[in-house]
Amino acid sequence: MAEGDSVARIAARLDTATAGALISRSDVRHPRFATVDLAGQRVVEWRARGKHLLARTDAGLTVHSHLRMTGSWSVLRPGKRLPARVMADLRIALHLHDGRTIAGVALPVLTVLRTSDEQAVVGHLGPDLLGTDTGGVDSIAVATTRVAAAGDEVIVAALLDQRRVAGLGNMWAQELLFLHRVSPWRAAGSVDGIEVLLTDARQRLRHAVRANPAQNTTGVPRPRHWVYGRARRPCLRCGTPIAFRPAERTSHGRETWWCPACQA
């Protein structure tokens, strides 16, 4: 699933490429929004909110999407078409006046709504570590309070709960817990240093958007990650085999890796 830094990078790329572009024709392949016509509207901006992507037009409409594991957005040059095998998964095409096409493919979540109603699709989210969406309140302070309030819920699940803090995915949550020597199975309410962990998370996400698209957390070409995806391999700190629990054996339904010694 695309994490917050990946979505922010996609938003920045699309914004640079298409902000201000005039839509000459639209094709929305979603049963609820198939009759929506965006022709004649200009793309004002693309913005990320946690793992959600928002494309706003000058007519006060927003195209909202969530990529999850399958979705993608691309800008096709004039005359270029999607491969036939991809066309079956096309969910939305915005044909621009200059001949380019903005294509959203295999989007599991797609909504078209008034920009003034965006809270209906993103209002449930907690503070975005990459954004300034808390009315001037420090997003880290708000997120720290919400994560700690998870009480007996395990800390890895609290970090992944987008209602508590938006943008962290499975990879970042588990790598951060390792780096801060916190067991993923600790009760969230018993963890000290949540604010420090989230501050580190924000710095790493910002760096990933700017200069680390591969989401490398170790600083070396291989392995890229400390624990994520490294079941039974030696811990890079202490040599202990990395422990692993499949999604079906966790309360939060996500695969989990950790070092039994470093994260005791």
Residues 88-125 have pLDDT tens digits of: 999 999 999 999 999 999 999 999 999 999 999 999 99
pLDDT at 138: 74
Question: What is the 8-class DSSP label of residue 163?
Answer: T
Quick check: 136 pLDDT over 80? Answer: no
Query: How far is residue 83's CA from residue 79's CA, in Å, rounded to a whole number?
Result: 13
Query: How far is residue 15's CA from residue 7's CA, in Å, rounded to a whole number?
Result: 12
Tell me the pLDDT of the chain averaged across its residues. Answer: 95
pLDDT band at 2 (very low <50, low <70, confident <90, very high): confident
Which pTM was predicted? Answer: 0.92
For the residues of 50-93, what is the DSSP string, one character each?
TTEEEEEETTSEEEEEE-TTT-EEEEEPTT----HHHHTTEEEE
Domains annotated on the chain, with CATH: 4-122 (3.20.190.10), 139-258 (1.10.8.50)
